[in-house]
């Protein structure tokens, strides 16, 4: 608990400091890449079976006057902490690749997730591969955190650090880099879960009820909480403000809510391919929806209540009948987990 609280305080400090730094850094070209990294091609073209083509519009973002929320993509962001063999365990290709989005400073949150829903051996007989995807901390803290992150990674071997600034507005890039990792090092994963770190996840329900390991392959499968008939908020006061310069239509295509969605591996590879050809917007879940629209794929509805986008109070039986609850803090997760794990025969059978 202490560790978590301390990392939360550190997080708050970093966030505050970062605001100031951003002002100082705007206009300067700051290169955070370390010189020793291997600048790999964007997307491996040799990945099994699938053709993931190289970007056609690679430099389009350079030709326009950049909007402050413009994201550079495609772009060869390096993997600074990487585990190329993570997915090649003796048990074969993972059924589920979990890409957990965290911030560099969230050491305690990652620890809580490893001990709870992120545990790779939680679902018997099902191979799960977990990676935490993180970017770079604000520049002033890079040195301090670097040693900590290296130590954490030595111990757990599950950090995928991408060479781009870890900010809310860069989240889409983090997710795309997670998919690039998948395309390069884990293209045979059956399913890919994109999940935020502030959630409760029920991996058994997700695997057995939503994904169904014994079911047929579903190449066009993506599910989560589906938002339909939404559109951009044009008032700059909103957190999810999107100016017409970034996205001009007044509707978004259907998309799965960002806290957690899961898609088949083959669809993940195709989403990544079309992502190279579209203008990237910072709303990561909407952007994936735009990729799906381009691919002519509609999200598959899950049973109602499976993916909860709003906070819910823990209740043993109810939580066993759902896949995800958003806005679940790490301390609460650690507190309820022993009870959640306990076999409770009084729950009504679904
Ligand atoms: C993960 O789950 C397995 C099986 O329930 C358990 O034996 C193991 O201790 C757990 N690992 C962690 C880090 O909690
Ligand atoms: C995203 O990351 C890049 C690369 O580190 C950085 O230059 C840019 O300022 C970040 N953009 C936002 C909106 O945070
Ligand atoms: C089983 O779940 C019910 C409903 O949540 C709860 O009231 C009860 O205490 C639980 N029993 C055990 C043994 O955990």
Q: DSSP states of 234-293 as a string?
A: --TTSTTB--TTT--SS-PPPEE-TTEEEEEHHHHHHHHHHHTTS---S-HHHHHHHHHH
Please list, residue by residue across 233-269, b when 16 or more beta carbons sit within 10 angstroms of its beta carbon and e when fewer do: eeeeeeeeebeeebbeeeebbbbbbbbbbbbbbbbbb
pLDDT band at 181 (very low <50, low <70, confident <90, very high): very high
Q: Among 313, 342, 346, name the best residue to mutate to test ligand 3's pocket (greatest count of ligand atoms within 8 A of Cβ).
A: 346
Ligand closest to 26 (CA) is 2
At 131 the three-state DSSP class reads: strand
Residue 250 has pLDDT above 50, yes or no: yes
Ligand 1 site residues, Cβ closer than 6 angstroms: 114-115, 119, 121-122
Which ligand 2 atom is at minimum distance from the Cα of 70? 13
Are the CB atoms for 249 and 175 separated by under 8 Å?
no
Ligand closest to 76 (CA) is 2
Q: How far apart are CA 10 and CA 14, in angstroms?
A: 6
Ligand 2 site residues, Cβ closer than 6 angstroms: 32, 69, 164-165, 167, 169-170
Residue 304 has pLDDT above 80, yes or no: yes
pLDDT in tens, 77-128: 999 999 999 999 888 999 999 999 999 999 999 999 999 999 999 999 999 9
CATH number of 89-341: 3.90.550.10
pLDDT band at 39 (very low <50, low <70, confident <90, very high): very low
Ligand closest to 28 (CA) is 2
| Helical residues (DSSP H) of the chain, grouped into ranges | 2-25, 60-63, 107-115, 142-156, 171-185, 203-205, 265-275, 284-295, 316-320, 330-341
Which ligand 2 atom is at minimum distance from the Cα of 168? 14
Q: Break the chain into its structural domains and give their ranges.
A: 89-341
Which ligand 2 atom is at minimum distance from the Cα of 69? 13
Residues 125-147: what's their mean pLDDT?
Answer: 94
Percent of the chain whose pLDDT exceeds 70: 81
Q: Among 111, 112, 119, name the best residue to mutate to test ligand 1's pocket (greatest count of ligand atoms within 8 A of Cβ).
A: 119
What is the Å distance from ligand 3's center to 314 Cα? 12
What is the Å distance from ligand 2's center to 79 Cα? 15
Mean pLDDT of the chain: 86
Are the CB atoms for 224 and 196 separated by under 8 Å?
no
Residue 214 has pLDDT above 90, yes or no: yes
What is the Å distance from ligand 2's center to 130 Cα? 25
Q: Among 316, 318, 322, 348, name the best residue to mutate to test ligand 3's pocket (greatest count of ligand atoms within 8 A of Cβ).
A: 316
Q: What is the pLDDT of residue 65?
A: 63
Percent of the chain whose pLDDT exceeds 90: 75
Q: How far apart are CA 270 and CA 248, in angstroms?
A: 24
Are the CB atoms for 285 and 256 separated by under 8 Å?
yes
Which ligand 1 atom is at minimum distance from the Cα of 114? 13
Beta bridge partner(s), residue 196: 101
| Helical residues (DSSP H) of 52-141, grouped into ranges | 60-63, 107-115
Are the CB atoms for 294 and 278 separated by under 8 Å?
yes
Ligand closest to 177 (CA) is 2
Ligand 1, atom 12: closest residue by C-alpha? 115
């Amino acid at each position: 608990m202490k560790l978590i609280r301390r990392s939360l305080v550190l997080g708050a400090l970093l966030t505050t400091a970062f605001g100031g730094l951003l002002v100082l850094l705007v206009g300067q070209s700051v290169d955070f890449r370390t010189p020793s990294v291997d600048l790999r091609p964007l997307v491996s073209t040799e990945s099994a079976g699938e053709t993931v083509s190289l970007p056609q519009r690679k430099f389009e973002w350079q030709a326009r006057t950049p909007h402050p929320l413009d994201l550079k993509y495609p772009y060869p962001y390096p993997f600074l902490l990487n585990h190329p063999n993570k997915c090649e365990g003796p048990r074969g290709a993972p059924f589920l690749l979990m890409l957990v989005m965290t911030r560099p400073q969230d050491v305690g949150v990652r620890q809580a997730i490893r001990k709870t829903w992120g545990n790779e051996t939680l679902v018997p007989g099902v191979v799960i591969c977990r990676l935490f995807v993180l970017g770079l901390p604000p520049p002033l803290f890079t040195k301090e955190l670097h040693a900590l992150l290296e130590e954490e990674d030595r111990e757990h071997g599950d950090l995928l650090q991408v060479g781009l600034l870890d900010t809310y507005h860069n989240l889409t890039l983090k997710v795309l880099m997670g998919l690039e990792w998948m395309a390069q090092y884990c293209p045979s994963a059956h399913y890919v879960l994109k999940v935020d770190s502030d959630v409760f996840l029920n991996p058994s329900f997700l695997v057995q009820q939503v994904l169904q390991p014994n079911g047929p392959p579903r190449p066009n499968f993506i599910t989560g909480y589906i938002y339909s008939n939404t559109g951009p908020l044009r008032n700059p006061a909103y957190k999810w403000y999107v100016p017409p310069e970034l996205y001009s239509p007044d509707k978004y295509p259907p998309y799965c809510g960002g806290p957690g969605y899961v898609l088949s591996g083959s669809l993940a590879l195709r989403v990544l391919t079309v992502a190279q050809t579209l203008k990237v917007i910072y709303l990561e879940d909407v952007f994936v929806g735009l990729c799906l629209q381009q691919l002519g794929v509609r999200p598959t509805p899950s049973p109602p209540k499976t993916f909860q986008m709003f906070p819910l109070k823990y209740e043993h039986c109810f939580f066993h009948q759902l896949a995800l609850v958003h806005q679940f803090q790490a301390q609460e997760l650690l507190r309820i987990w022993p009870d959640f794990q306990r076999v409770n025969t009084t729950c009504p059978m679904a």
